[in-house]
């Protein structure tokens, strides 16, 4: 499928941002084929990037495992595992995807796009994984390793710094990795006048209630609920 000049320019701009020039530009384009477009497409040969997501997840896991293994020879297996899990997670990859502005390049169905799919963290995270897989297939593991751990490691270290006290990210990562469940938040109530409301939110692990949090807005209440849940569950976040 021939790419338009406008599409090529967007892809070339991304190559500049990430610091890698593709041999096969269509492989880069393929990383942005969302499953919703496949469902709407009349072309039966049109495929999504889901297989690339699978591969990219494994590659990024190996990259960060090797990086932390080499960088922290004083840390034991448990601490290395914790470090790796904190950075190889949906919020981290979503953060990277936002930094590289991947959402603008997504090819998705009209319904998905209209519902905010280009900004959805889960979709952005998957897209980042697909992008890394496309670079791997176009080059090698060593190229991906250098891109992540040399050219862009500061991005992920910044994420770790900003998320170190982000209780929602810590709880979400733990629940996804360890419990294989989905973390959601339920607004229980808000009390007080419009200019001075107090919000009460409960964190949910699947269908199970965790702890409640309180805040002057929903985000603060969700962070408080996450923090209370982390403490109650005895999750190590130091």
| Three-state secondary structure call for residue 209 | strand
Q: Which residue among the candidates 29, 53, 57, 126 is catalytic per the annotation? A: 57
Phi, psi of 33, deg, nearest 5: -85, 95
Q: Which residue among the candidates 29, 112, 126, 129 is catalytic per the annotation? A: 129
Radius of gyration of the chain (CA): 20
Query: What is d(CA 47, CA 82) in angstroms, rounded to the nearest whole number?
Result: 35
| Three-state secondary structure call for residue 203 | strand
Tokens encoding 162: 């900003």
Query: 37: left (phi > 0), else alpha (psi -120 to 50), else beta?
Result: alpha
Active site residue 57: yes
Cβ neighbors of 80 (< 8 A, separation 6 or more) are 65, 68, 69, 72
Active site residue 196: no
Q: Cα 133–142–29 angle (5° rounding)?
A: 30
| Three-state secondary structure call for residue 198 | strand
Query: What is d(CA 146, CA 199) in angstroms, rounded to the nearest whole number?
Result: 45
Residues belonging to the active site = 57, 129
């Amino acid at each position: 499928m021939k790419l338009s000049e406008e599409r090529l320019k967007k892809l070339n701009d991304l190559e500049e941002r990430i610091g890698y020039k593709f041999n096969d530009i269509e492989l880069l384009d393929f990383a942005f084929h969302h499953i919703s477009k496949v469902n709407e497409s009349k072309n039966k040969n049109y495929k999504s990037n889901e297989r690339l997501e699978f591969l990219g997840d494994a590659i990024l896991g190996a990259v960060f495992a090797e990086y932390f293994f080499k960088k922290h020879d004083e840390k034991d297996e448990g601490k290395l595992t914790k470090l790796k899990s904190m950075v190889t997670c949906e919020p981290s990859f979503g953060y990277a995807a936002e930094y590289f502005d991947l959402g603008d390049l997504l090819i998705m169905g009209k319904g998905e796009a209209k519902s905010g799919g280009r900004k959805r963290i889960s979709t952005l995270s998957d897209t980042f994984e697909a992008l890394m897989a496309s670079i791997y297939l176009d080059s090698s593991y060593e190229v991906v390793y250098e891109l992540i751990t040399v050219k862009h490691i500061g991005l992920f270290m910044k994420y770790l710094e900003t998320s170190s006290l982000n209780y929602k990210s810590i709880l979400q990562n733990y629940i996804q990795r360890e419990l294989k469940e989905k973390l959601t938040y339920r607004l229980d109530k808000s009390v007080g006048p419009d200019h001075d409301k107090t919000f009460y939110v409960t964190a949910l692990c699947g269908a199970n209630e965790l702890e409640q949090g309180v805040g002057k807005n929903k985000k603060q209440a969700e962070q408080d609920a996450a923090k209370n849940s982390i403490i109650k569950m005895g999750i190590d976040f130091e």
